[in-house]
């Protein structure tokens, strides 16, 4: 057989890439220092967020930052001792917080996200992973209709992409979602959405499918690379040297040091996300929803009600903070006042984010080095399509969308 293609990172993006490449007949080795699905893919909200086309850097961000930084119940947190390290990335990130750049980012996210449910179903059709995808609606839960009406930029972007909500107000809110207390007086409901019932089990099932198709998974720590005439030739690991003629780096936040070894200085930072799972809840929502006062998602899953979200800027070495968890718990008690539960489980993970809120998907020149990382909070959503796009590029098929916004070469001059 030909030299293998090595995919580095076994989250949803890496797993989807490896699976599509194997289906296309390639010899594929998937590598990760942990078991499949144990990184950001483990603790996310499980949403197939076709609606998540509006970047965090929307024009109102500048007005919101001061309030977020002084309000302990805001969805944005900063580890202040990390600020000196964060500052160059943050400056570049905030340069994108204007209408022109936000709209360009939105236009790039639309083709990557808006058919996510279909992409997941195509990836899993006829496999054991298929049953872990659920069709659902998705509701934005607001304090009142006025709060919904103030969210003009976001809903204008969604409307342009064909997403127009049913707006439900007053006592009708509790008819649609009985779990909601009086703090929620408006729901903006999108139909035709979907979610994953357990992200970790889902990715684990995809790993089984990949291996049943003849793919190889190796749990190993990738340490370095070899090149021959500017082309990748081998991956060096704690289990030895693996010859290859192509690699796909899809290791989330851990892609940054790997790409550094390959000569690409990627300004990748961590959006630290948190979740609280309420075990055996007395009530669950009829469908997943976004609690807009805390900008976190609420998703009914097989292991309980997962409340996941927030953004904490603080790198990967500092420990978890108490404030994001406190915010999640307080907002949940506020909006679901009658819900009881047996116990809770907490988690923190690392989302890989670029200053322009767009992932790196493509090949570095003609080096055989492909990238598929940097999806910030939409990795689960975009994973299958990202994997298919990379597999198409490796197979010399022309993708049916403009790939230039995601081109990793945009960071090559750093």
Tell whether 110 is covered by a domain: no
Beta bridge partners of 349: 273
User: Which residue positions in the chain have pLDDT lower than 50?
Assistant: none
Helix-helix angle 12-23:116-124, to 10 degrees: 50
223: number of Cβ within 10 Å: 12
Phi, psi of 217 (to 5 degrees): -110, 130
Tell whether 94 is covered by a domain: yes
243 and 207 assigned to the same domain: yes
CATH number assigned to the domain comprising residue 92:
3.30.9.10
Tell whether 67 is covered by a domain: yes
What is the pLDDT, as a whole number, of residue 414?
A: 56
From 353, 378, 395, the end of a domain falls on 353
What is the pLDDT, as a whole number, of residue 58?
A: 79
- The dihedral over CA atoms of 3, 8, 9, 13, expressed in degrees to the nearest 10, equals -70
> Please, which residues have CB within 8 angstroms of residue 406's CB and are 6 or more apart in sequence?
108, 112, 358, 359, 360, 361, 362
What pTM was estimated for this model as a whole? 0.95
Query: For the chain, what is the domain count?
Result: 2
What is the pLDDT, as a whole number, of residue 1?
A: 53
Tell whether 405 is covered by a domain: yes
Tell whether 284 is covered by a domain: yes
Tell whether 340 is covered by a domain: yes
What is the pLDDT, as a whole number, of residue 64?
A: 74
Tell whether 366 is covered by a domain: yes
SS3 46: coil
Domain, as residue range, for 173 = 57-99+123-194+268-353
């Amino acid at each position: 057989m030909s030299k293998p293609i090595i995919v580095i990172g076994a989250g949803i993006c890496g797993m989807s890439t490896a699976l599509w490449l194997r289906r296309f007949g390639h010899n594929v080795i998937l590598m990760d220092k942990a078991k499949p699905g144990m990184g950001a893919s483990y603790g996310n909200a499980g949403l197939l967020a076709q609606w998540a086309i509006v970047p965090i850097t929307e024009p109102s961000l500048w007005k919101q930052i001061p309030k977020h930084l002084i309000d302990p119940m805001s969805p944005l947190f900063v580890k202040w001792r990390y600020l000196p390290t964060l500052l160059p990335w943050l400056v570049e990130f905030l340069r994108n917080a204007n209408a022109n750049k936000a709209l360009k980012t939105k236009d790039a996210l639309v083709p990557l996200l808006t058919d996510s449910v279909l992409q997941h179903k195509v990836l899993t059709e006829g496999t054991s992973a298929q049953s872990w995808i659920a069709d659902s609606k998705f509701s934005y839960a607001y304090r009142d209709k006025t709060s919904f009406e103030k969210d003009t930029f976001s809903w204008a972007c969604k409307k342009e992409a064909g997403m127009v909500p049913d707006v439900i107000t007053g006592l009708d809110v509790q008819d649609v979602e009985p779990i909601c207390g009086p703090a929620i007086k408006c729901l903006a409901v999108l139909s035709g959405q979907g979610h994953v019932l357990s992200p970790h089990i889902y990715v684990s099932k995809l790993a089984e499918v990949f291996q049943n198709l003849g793919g190889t998974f190796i749990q190993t720590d990738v340490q370095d690379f070899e090149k021959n005439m500017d082309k990748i030739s081998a991956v060096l690991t704690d289990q030895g040297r693996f010859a290859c003629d192509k690699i796909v780096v899809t290791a989330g936040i851990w892609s940054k040091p790997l790409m550094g070894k390959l000569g690409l200085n990627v300004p990748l930072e961590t959006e630290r996300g948190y979740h609280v799972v309420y075990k055996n809840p007395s009530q669950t929502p009829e469908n997943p929803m976004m609690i807009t006062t805390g900008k976190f998602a609420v998703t009914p899953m097989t292991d309980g009600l997962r409340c996941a979200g927030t953004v904490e800027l603080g790198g990967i070495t500092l420990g978890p903070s108490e404030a994001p968890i406190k915010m999640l718990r307080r907002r949940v008690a506020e909006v679901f006042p009658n819900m009881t539960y047996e116990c809770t489980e907490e988690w923190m993970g690392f989302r890989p984010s670029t200053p322009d809120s767009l992932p790196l998907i493509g090949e570095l020149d003609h080096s055989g080095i492909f990238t598929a990382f940097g999806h910030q909070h939409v990795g689960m959503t975009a994973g299958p399509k990202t994997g298919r796009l990379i597999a198409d590029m490796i197979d010399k098929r022309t993708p049916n969308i403009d790939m230039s916004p995601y081109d990793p070469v945009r960071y090559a001059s750093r």
